[in-house]
């Protein structure tokens, strides 16, 4: 069993970071119950449940939350929970009678996790957006991408998938906030609201770079002009003879010396590693060397050393890599290969993930758990205020 075994989480269905947070908690053993709408919301990217990896390992109940009977069923479920997660615009849960005050009136120990882009307050609180908007406003997007000076094929900022906003600054910070509030509840006996905004979380992720900029060690005005943003030739990527790529991260002199010795880079580059005047020539020399062999040939030469060079793998290649294979870092769930739960624990062993549920797949069993009789459930389903979906 996972370390969160015995924890009950109610997830009010949303998109992006909310489901990812719920997945992380479910992966670690929490019993996650997703309250769905009667019909798909039309938000996000439609996908067959078994391919919806962030929605794995929970049960689904479909309720009409705009109706009194639907809200009452939701409240009964919430009353049995430790945590509630919602990712709606500020005020939506309140209008449905499911806001923090409504829930805490019936369950004062509830930890109420709120996931938004801009937070519960501020002039942008009600504005729609997605990951790219939040990381743009936080300063992260400006720092990632080409120089924008005509030297790149794709100048300007480049979205780093939705890893930084939705998942890094969103889901992970909501998860930390929920766990922190649960810890505090052990002392106070009271629940509280966790206001997790992606603009806040991404800003927190940028802490190092704010410090470097304040100390004059980071030029925030230009992309690819700093040590960690692709400007340094010893912290960059290089195309190999087969059109694939190698990542080099030899920041420290001893690691750069190891790399140079193994690939035949001239010693003068090692001696003047941090001389920015030499960086353009150093980059050209490294690029010329790496174009002489394929990615896998370089990998064979450099793997296991302190040269800090790695092949740039596709997701499929990453899953098949011997290191991932030995650590069993990926699992097959319903024929879909996906990352295994992380992190790992010395004693606790989370159960194997389960495929995402169909919308309303567990409505009847969850209503039974909430204290409804069979006749009450049948009446609720017949009224159209709840929905049960049976697997094919």
For residue 321, the 8-state DSSP code is S
**Distance between CA atoms of residues 111 and 93, nearest Å:** 15
Domains and CATH numbers, the chain: 8-204+331-387 (3.40.50.10540), 235-239+245-311 (3.30.1540.10)
Which residue intervals of the chain are DSSP H helices? 17-27, 68-79, 92-95, 100-106, 131-138, 172-188, 198-205, 207-214, 253-263, 267-271, 279-290, 295-302, 315-320, 322-327, 363-369, 374-382
Q: Give the pLDDT score at 250.
A: 98
The answer to whether the Cα torsion of 194, 199, 200, 206 is positive or negative is: positive
Average pLDDT over residues 255-260: 98
User: Could you give the C-alpha distances from 239 to 157, 374, 380, in angstroms and in order?
Assistant: 21, 64, 61
Catalytic one among 36, 166, 195, 229?
Answer: 166
Residue 311: which residues within 8 A CB-CB, separation 6 or more?
A: 244, 245, 246, 247, 295, 296, 298, 299, 317
Q: Any residues with CB less than 8 A from the CB of 390 and at least 6 apart, and which?
A: 361
Q: Could you report the per-residue pLDDT of 364-385, keeping only the tens digit for each?
A: 999 999 999 999 999 999 999 9
% of the chain beyond a pLDDT of 90: 93
Q: How sure is the predictor about 55, in pLDDT bands with cuts at 50, 70 and 90?
A: very high
- pLDDT for 392 equals 78
Q: What is the mean pLDDT of residues 63-78?
A: 97
Check whether 25 has a pLDDT greater than 80.
yes
Mean pLDDT of the chain: 95
- pLDDT tens digits along 356-365: 999 999 999 9
**CB contact set of 387 (below 8 Å; sequence gap of 6+):** 38, 62, 63, 359, 360, 363, 381
Catalytic residue among 75, 107, 130, 210: 130
* Per-residue confidence (pLDDT) for residue 298, from 0 to 100: 98
Q: Tell me, what's the pLDDT at 378? A: 97
Tens digit of each residue's pLDDT (9 = 90 or more) over 185-233: 999 999 999 999 999 999 999 999 999 999 999 999 889 999 999 999 9
pLDDT at 150 over 70: no
What is the C-alpha R_g of the chain?
25
**CA 25/CA 3 separation, integer angstroms:** 10
- Residue 319, token pair as written in the block: 């899953």
The answer to whether residue 51 scores a pLDDT higher than 80 is yes
**172: pLDDT strictly greater than 70:** yes
Q: Which pLDDT score, from 0 to 100, does residue 45 have?
A: 77
148 band by pLDDT with thresholds 50, 70 and 90: low
Judge whether 369 and 80 are in contact, CB under 8 Å: yes
**Confidence band, pLDDT 50/70/90 cuts, at residue 151:** low
Ramachandran class of 97: left when φ > 0, alpha when ψ lies in -120 to 50, beta otherwise: left
How confident is the model over 12-21, as pLDDT tens digits?
999 999 999 9
Active-site annotation holds for 166: yes
Whole-model pTM: value is 0.94
Taking only the tens place, the pLDDT of each residue in 290-331 is 999 999 999 999 999 999 999 999 999 999 999 999 999 999
Residue 207: Cβ-neighbour burial (10 angstroms; 0-12, 13-18, 19+) = exposed
Residues near 285 by beta carbon (within 8 Å), at least 6 away in sequence: 265, 266, 269
pLDDT at residue 43 is higher than 60: yes
pLDDT of residue 40 exceeding 90: no
Q: What is the pLDDT of residue 140?
A: 97
| pLDDT confidence of residue 47 | 87
What would the two tokens of residue 93 be? Answer: 């849960």
Calculate what percentage of the chain has a pLDDT beyond 70: 97
pLDDT band with cut points at 50, 70 and 90 for residue 28: very high
- 311 vs 316: CA distance, rounded Å: 13
**Is residue 152 scored above 70 in pLDDT?**
no
Instruction: State yes or no: is 104 an active-site residue.
Output: no
Q: Tell which wins on pLDDT, 153 or 362.
A: 362
Contact predicate 289/263, CB 8 Å: yes
pLDDT at 58 over 70: yes
Dihedral angle at the C-alpha atoms of 274, 212, 235, 329, nearest 10 degrees?
150
Query: Which pLDDT value is given to residue 41?
Result: 73
């Amino acid at each position: 069993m996972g370390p969160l075994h015995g924890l009950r989480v109610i997830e009010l269905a949303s998109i992006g970071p909310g489901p990812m947070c719920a997945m992380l908690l479910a992966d670690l053993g929490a019993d996650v119950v997703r309250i769905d709408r009667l019909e798909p919301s039309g938000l996000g990217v439609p996908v067959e449940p078994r391919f919806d990896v962030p929605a794995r390992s929970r049960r689904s109940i479909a309720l009409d939350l705009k109706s009194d009977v639907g809200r009452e069923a939701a409240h009964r479920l919430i009353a049995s929970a430790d945590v509630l997660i919602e990712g709606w615009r500020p005020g939506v849960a309140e209008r449905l009678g499911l806001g923090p005050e409504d829930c805490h009136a019936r369950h004062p120990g509830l930890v109420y996790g709120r996931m938004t882009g801009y937070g519960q307050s501020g002039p942008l609180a009600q504005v729609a957006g997605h990951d790219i908007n939040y990381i743009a406003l936080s300063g992260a997007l400006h720092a990632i991408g080409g120089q924008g000076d005509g030297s790149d094929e794709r100048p300007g900022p480049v979205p780093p998938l939705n890893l930084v906003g939705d998942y890094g600054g969103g889901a992970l910070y909501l998860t930390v906030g929920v766990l922190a509030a649960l810890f505090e509840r052990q002392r106070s006996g009271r629940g509280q609201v966790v206001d997790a905004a992606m603009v806040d979380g991404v800003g927190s992720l940028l802490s190092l770079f704010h410090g470097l900029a304040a100390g004059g060690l980071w030029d925030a005005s230009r992309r690819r002009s700093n040590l960690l943003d692709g400007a340094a030739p010893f912290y960059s990527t290089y195309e190999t003879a087969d059109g694939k790529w190698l990542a080099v991260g030899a920041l420290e002199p001893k690691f750069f010396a190891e790399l140079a010795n193994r690939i035949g880079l001239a010693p003068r580059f090692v001696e003047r590693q941090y001389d920015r005047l030499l960086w353009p020539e150093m980059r050209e020399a490294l690029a010329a060397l790496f174009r002489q062999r394929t990615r896998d040939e370089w990998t064979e030469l450099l793997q296991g050393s302190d040269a800090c060079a790695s092949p740039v793998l596709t997701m499929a290649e990453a899953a098949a890599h011997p290191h991932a294979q030995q650590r069993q870092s990926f699992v097959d769930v319903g024929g879909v290969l996906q990352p295994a739960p992380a992190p790992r624990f010395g004693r606790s062993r989370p159960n194997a993930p389960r495929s995402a549920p169909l919308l309303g797949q567990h409505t009847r069993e969850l209503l039974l758990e909430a204290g409804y009789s069979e006749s009450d459930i049948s009446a609720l389903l017949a009224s159209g205020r709840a929905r049960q979906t049976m697997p094919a």
